[in-house]
Amino acid sequence: MTKALALISGGLDSILAAKLIKEQGIEVIGITFKSYFFGPENAKRMTKQIDIPLEIVDFSEEHFKVTKNPKHGHGKNMNPCIDCHAMMMRYAGELLNEFNADFIITGEVLNQRPMSQNKASLNIVKKESGFADKILRPLCAKALPPTEMELNGLVDREKLMGITGRSRKIQMELAEKWGIEDYPSPAGGCKLTDPNFSVRLRELVEHKEEPTQRDIELLRIGRHFRVCKNAKVISTRTAEEGTLLKSYLNEDDVAFLVKDFNGSMVAIIGNAAEKDIEFAAKVAGRYSKGREQGKLDVIYGQYGKPYNKFLEIKPATEEELLKYIIG
């Protein structure tokens, strides 16, 4: 029986491509990827709707290296889409023998995205994957030259589609036809397409040669400030963020609380200088219920230990916040 590996992003297009091939009586196995910037949750939900198995590949470290310095550049933000897609194709190609599969399918649509899905970019992805003759794009196949799989009869080209452009009308009609109702927005779940996250990531890479996974996870939380090169101040905006921040902190971090007033949780990540400590205390004051007070007492210390240090501060001004805020 003919078998295909389907790259499943978790969005609508990739699951439609998989379904289109499955409708031809071809066995389809989903392949999704996990990195520091996206996970498999949407893919799990989508594959259940068309009843195909799903394999999860964690390529976090290699993907991050590519994100920092992609051969084909970034998109609008920090997204290295061409390099990322080529890497995914390469990983999938290397799995063909393991799953005894014949080819790879993706949900890419010609000209849907200006950087990563024009004809030149699609060809680059094929070439750099190392498996150019094994890649089929079912949703736009009729707008592209026939592939080996179509020419040798593994796939019926007449049952494929020729979708091009940014309109999603045809995809939504297919989803309705096949009863696929639970799907995310076209933006997908990649944090690298988020402008604010990308600003923070770029700033992090500029200041730390080898960021850790924790460094990257922290980019999602609260407000970020940098006063000195080797440390960062984070201030939470909600109680939920406070709980999340605590899950990442350790005794190497410095945490701050305003005495007698509730407010934001503030922490310094990195090697704190005197200027970092003073500013963090002022941020804690600014985002506390005592911010209208002329002066506030702030206690601080290593996270997880008694806060045994004290500063009297004036809450940070808007100008001070704007001077050091990241993103």
pLDDT in tens, 43-52: 999 999 999 9
Domains of the chain with CATH codes: 3-190 (3.40.50.620), 194-324 (no CATH)
**In percent, how much of the chain has pLDDT > 70?**
98
Q: What is the pTM of this model?
A: 0.88
Question: What is the distance between the alpha carbons of residues 137 and 162, in angstroms, rounded to a whole number?
Answer: 10
What mean pLDDT is reported for the chain? 95
pLDDT at 256 over 70: yes
DSSP state of 238: S
**In percent, how much of the chain has pLDDT > 90?**
90
222 phi, psi to nearest 5 deg: 65, -160
The amino acid at residue 25 is: G
Angle between helices 81-95 and 119-129 (to 10 degrees): 40
Question: What is the distance between the alpha carbons of residues 296 and 282, in angstroms, rounded to a whole number?
Answer: 9
Question: What is the distance between the alpha carbons of residues 31 and 40, in angstroms, rounded to a whole number?
Answer: 10
User: What is the Rg, in whole angstroms, of the alpha carbon atoms belonging to the chain?
Assistant: 24
Token output for 199? 């600003």
Residue 132: burial class (beta carbons within 10 Å; 0-12, 13-18, 19+): middle
